[in-house]
């Protein structure tokens, strides 16, 4: 029997509290930088398992360190924050939380990206590894990160002295629940999660009465033309074999139907896998916006603001190969290659700053029967909820077991005797 199988023998003993812990997190989500209750619960569980616990790292981050003789140091990371999204899953443990957002307005909150699942999986893995120390040697670092959704949580932990809490990791791991069949998992060597840049663009017009548009420069029409023209950046300026996404997610202008406003604000998001593509897309956006402003006779130059940048997640080839082999040995054909994802992450800030190679894999969270029926009907896009959707929530099992097992199997590929 392998070390992983021996350690995993305790999975049945933790399953009940782990599932209940997950339901509790799902029902009581917290926004980025406000994960206070989540952090307290995580720290308590890590302490019960015998980890040395460091709380308040980078604000609400929690780090547990378990030392078990000489050997490698393995870092396992989970993100804790939720989203300002109203949940519509209809689950008995669905979130009904509303809180005050950073702008002072009331906002709904839910775990629409599955970070509650990540937390519960890592806590379970931490307990299993702590209970099975006779089967491995080294150090396990269980890192619970705040503020992944805002792209600055990992950086905040690093600035707060994270590197001083444990030896340099030999390897670092993270995982994400995805809209794929529950019980499956996938790996990918090389760029796997895209870099992301968010941009806020303010364009200016000349306001006036809606009945006299000839005396104005309408920034609403200007913004509309920009949105349409930006669609050509991917379709006509980016090579077909180069993955990239450009999405305009927000347009704000005006307050009344018969008043032409003074300005409009667009917010867009760009996803890329190579720095040269990123630079080209950002340059194209600026060129198009400036040209459309000139075409409309805008009285002022547009203002560009970059914010919420996420780094590229570029999986180490050798680490990924070793993890994929371990997954194949334990999970069989439930583990398979996974293509690049256009989602983004700030996890890579941690291992790259700490000097550790890493890999990041995906686990499925959709009921296998539901997924199969949608696939057979050619309706995956229509019938399968995706991350950040109001009706996204992974099925508890086998998602929770699979994510817990994956972390243990990957860790023991380095730590086992």
Q: Which residues are catalytic?
A: 79, 149
Place of tokens 């989203």: 83
Place of tokens 């950002």: 282
CA distances for 89 relative to 76, 96, 137, 375, 393, angstroms: 29, 11, 42, 21, 7
Closest CA to 336 of 227, 120, 178, 145: 178
Closest CA to 182 of 396, 333, 405, 408: 396
Token pair recorded at residue 31: 């926004």
Q: How many CA atoms lie within 13 A of 70 on its CB side?
A: 0
DSSP assignment of 111-127 = -TT-HHHHHHHHHHHHH
CB 140 within 8 A of CB 125: no
Query: In angstroms, how far is the first alpha carbon of the chain from the final one?
Result: 13
CA distance 92 to 19: 14
CA distance 83 to 388: 8
Sheet with 244-253, strands from edge to edge, namely 244-253, 263-272, 195-204, 303-310
CA distance 374 to 382: 8
């Amino acid at each position: 029997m392998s070390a992983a199988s021996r350690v995993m023998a305790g999975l049945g003993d933790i399953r009940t509290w782990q599932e209940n812990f997950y339901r509790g997190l799902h029902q009581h989500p917290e926004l980025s930088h406000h994960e206070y209750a989540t952090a307290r619960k995580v720290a308590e569980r890590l302490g019960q398992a015998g980890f040395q616990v460091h709380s308040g790292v980078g604000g609400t981050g929690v780090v547990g360190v378990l030392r078990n003789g000489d050997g490698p140091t393995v870092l396992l990371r989970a993100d804790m924050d939720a989203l300002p999204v109203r949940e519509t899953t209809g689950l008995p443990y669905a979130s009904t939380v509303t809180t005050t957002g950073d702008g002072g307005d009331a906002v709904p909150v839910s775990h629409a990206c599955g970070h509650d699942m990540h937390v519960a999986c890592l806590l379970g893995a931490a307990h299993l590894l702590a209970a099975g120390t006779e089967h491995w040697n080294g150090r396990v670092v269980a890192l619970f990160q705040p503020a992944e959704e805002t792209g600055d949580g990992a950086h905040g932990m690093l600035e707060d002295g994270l590197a001083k809490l444990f030896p340099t990791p030999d390897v670092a791991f993270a995982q994400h629940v995805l809209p794929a069949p529950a019980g499956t998992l996938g790996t990918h060597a090389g760029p796997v999660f895209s870099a992301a840049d968010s941009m806020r663009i303010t364009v200016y017009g000349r306001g006036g009465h809606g009945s006299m548009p000839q005396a104005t420069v309408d920034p609403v029409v200007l913004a509309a033309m920009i949105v349409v023209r930006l669609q050509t950046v991917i379709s006509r300026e980016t090579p077909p074999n180069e993955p990239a996404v450009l999405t305009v997610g927000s347009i704000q202008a005006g307050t009344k139907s018969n008043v032409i406003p003074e300005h409009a604000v667009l917010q867009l998001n760009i996803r890329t896998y190579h720095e040269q593509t990123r630079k080209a897309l950002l340059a194209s956006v600026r060129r198009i916006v400036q040209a459309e402003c000139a075409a409309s006779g805008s009285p002022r130059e547009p203002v560009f603001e970059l914010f919420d940048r996420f780094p590229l997640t570029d999986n180490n080839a050798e680490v990924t190969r070793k993890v994929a082999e371990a997954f194949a040995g334990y999970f069989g054909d439930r583990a398979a290659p996974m293509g690049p994802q256009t989602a983004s992450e700030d996890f890579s800030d941690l291992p790259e700053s700490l000097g550790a190679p890493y890999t990041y894999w995906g686990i499925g969270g959709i009921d296998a029967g539901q997924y199969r029926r949608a696939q057979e009907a050619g309706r995956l896009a229509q019938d399968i909820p995706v991350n950040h959707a109001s009706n996204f929530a992974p099925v508890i099992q086998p998602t929770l077991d699979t994510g817990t097992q994956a972390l243990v199997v990957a860790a023991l590929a380095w730590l086992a005797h």
